[in-house]
Structure formats: C-alpha cells, structure tokens
Amino acid sequence: MRYNQLGRTGLFVSELCLGTMTFGGNDGIWQHIGDLQQADAERLIGRALDAGINFIDTADVYANGLAEQMTGQALKNLKVSRDSVVVATKVFGQTGDSVNARGASRFHIMDGIKASLKRMQLDHIDLYQIHGFDPATPIEETVRALDTLVQHGHVRYVGVSNWAAWQIVKALGIAERLGCARFESLQAYYTVAGRDLERELVPMLKSEGLGLMVWSPLAGGLLSGKYTREQHGEQDSRRNKFDFPPVDRTRAYTCVDAMRVMANARSVSVAQIALAWLLHQRAVTTVIVGAKKIEQLDDNIAATKVELTAEELAQLDELSKLPAEYPGWMLERQGEYRRGQLAGTRQAGR
C-alpha cells in the first residue's frame, strides 16, 4: 500500500480509501446500495486496516446517519488508535425536516459537525467535506464557517465534493483573502469510462495543489466485469436497481473488452484493471472503494499490485479519450509552441 500527500498538507493517506456507503441500508436509494450491519462493517474495516488502508470516508446522509454511527462504533469496537486512521465525512444533504436542515450554510454546517461527531463518537474529524454546491449560500459564508470549525479543533482539514473548477477556485481565492482554511481536496467521479473531470478539474487541481479522491471508480459496478453488451449483470445487482452514475455505455463496454484481455493475461479481475488505471493517473491521490463482501474488498486491495504497461495505458487512453471541445482544442493548438519551449528548457537544465 502506497501513501500519498493530501493536497498541499503534511497529511499522508493510503492510495485506497474505504468508503462506507454500503453500511446501514435503510430507506430510499440506500437499500439498493448496501445494507451491511455492524458486524459486517467491522469485518470490512478490520480487513482494510490490516491491508494498510488508513483512510475511511463516510457522509452524514449515508443511510440517514447510520453509516457514520456504524463507522464510529466499529473503530471503537476494534480498538483502533485514533492517530492511526484518517476519518473523512461530509455535510450538505438533507438531514432533517427543517427548511434549514440542508445546504452549505453556516447554520447547517454548525449543526452538521456536532451531529457527525456525536454519531461517530469522535472529538474531531480529519477531513470535513462540503458534499455538493449550494446555490443558495454565498461561498464566503461556507468558507468562514469551515474555518471556524478548524480554529475550534473540531476539524483538521476541509475539502469539497462535486464542485465545478470555477467554484473551487473562487473559494480558494476567498480563503486566501480572508486568511481562512482552504479546500485541500476534491472528491469527484472519475473512471476510465468517465473522464469528464480531465477537461477543467484536473488542470485546476494541478495548478492549485488539491488532492483528488475518486468516488465510484467502477462506475457503480459497470466496470466490474459483470456487465457486457450482451449481459447486463444479475437481476438484483446494484446497477439494475440504481442506475448511477450516468455512463456512456458504448464507451464503457469498449473499455471493458480491452480490460478483460489485460485481466485474463494476469489472472486478475477486470475490476482490478479499472482500479489500476486510476492508480496510474498522476492527479489521483486516493481511490474510494466500497464493498459488500470481504472477497470484493480483497479483490479491490489486490489492484494496488497491478502494474499496467505503457502500451496498455496508451491503448486505454485511446479507447476512452474525450472528444475534443472548445476551448480545449484551441488551447492545445495555440500553446503548442510555448510548450515546446518549456520542454526544451527542462531538457537543457538536465
């Protein structure tokens, strides 16, 4: 297991992060994603920690708070030393019937952190993330509220999930102007079959020094190898009950076909190849893996040992590349000469 620096911080997190969306079940979409109970959660967390995973991600809305509760209880029951694990959670989604029990307002953030700490039986959260963009709350209000939590010691670092590049950069500018804690990470969807964030978000992350946490690295199971053009998985599979995230299936199945050849050559699963592709991407800090069974988690962990060749990476890049869009193709065209100058300068410096 490798450990990567989270953004510009001095914090190091494992290249795989254990996601807890399968914990608890409950009503609505959560029953389709997973309904693991306490003993199951403890087995998964224990196995993850034994494999060297030091990073756990949850959210206050997962199973209506049950996932946080079960995560905290598991850490307590397993007698996990607090300084040996990095715990991340999120705030934004609806957590009550009140009109203000949602969003990224100071009101909801302050209520949210107290509830999350209580559910997880912790005195602080290592990474507290805004789960989505709130069009009703000024970004400055959100930034100031998060900084208050950092100053009070309830939170060590702050991050964001599912924001656009311009929104994140605006928040970073506000934080710098006010001397507030800045976002250190982005949690976003990214797979070999869904590379949209490479247009704006990846260049922004590189420019501003944010870490990238990848959610749904198997596209909701679509890249697990269970699905093909002819076979759409088992009838009770998660994808057939909860078709998310949206994926260009033609592109996805083309990638699966190529990854199956690579997997068979190594006697590993297609899922391991899909995860290994992500682990080979420089922008990625950690890949969040969720599981319902120990066998699934073990398979995911084994992906850290899969090395893809330059030829295989090039093949997958060609099969999954994004169609050219403006202004990307114009930036590529107009910047070609200057990039050449930079490359020449670097070579001369060697």
What is the total residue count of the chain? 350
Per-residue pLDDT tens over the stretch 132-163: 999 999 999 999 999 999 999 999 999 999 99
Q: β-strands 183-189, 12-14: how paired?
A: unpaired
Average pLDDT over residues 50-55: 98
Total-model pTM: 0.94
Residue-wise pLDDT tens digits, 159-171: 999 999 999 999 9
Banded pLDDT at 230 (limits 50, 70, 90): confident
Is 227 catalytic? The answer is no
Residues 197/224, Cβ–Cβ less than 8 Å: no
Summarize pLDDT for 297-338 with one digit per residue, the tens: 999 999 999 999 999 999 999 999 999 999 999 999 999 999
| Catalytic residue (one of 3, 62, 128, 190) | 62
When pLDDT is averaged across residues 246-271 and rounded to a whole number, the result is: 95
Higher pLDDT, 28 or 121: 121
- What is the bridge-based pairing of β-strands 155-161 and 183-189? parallel
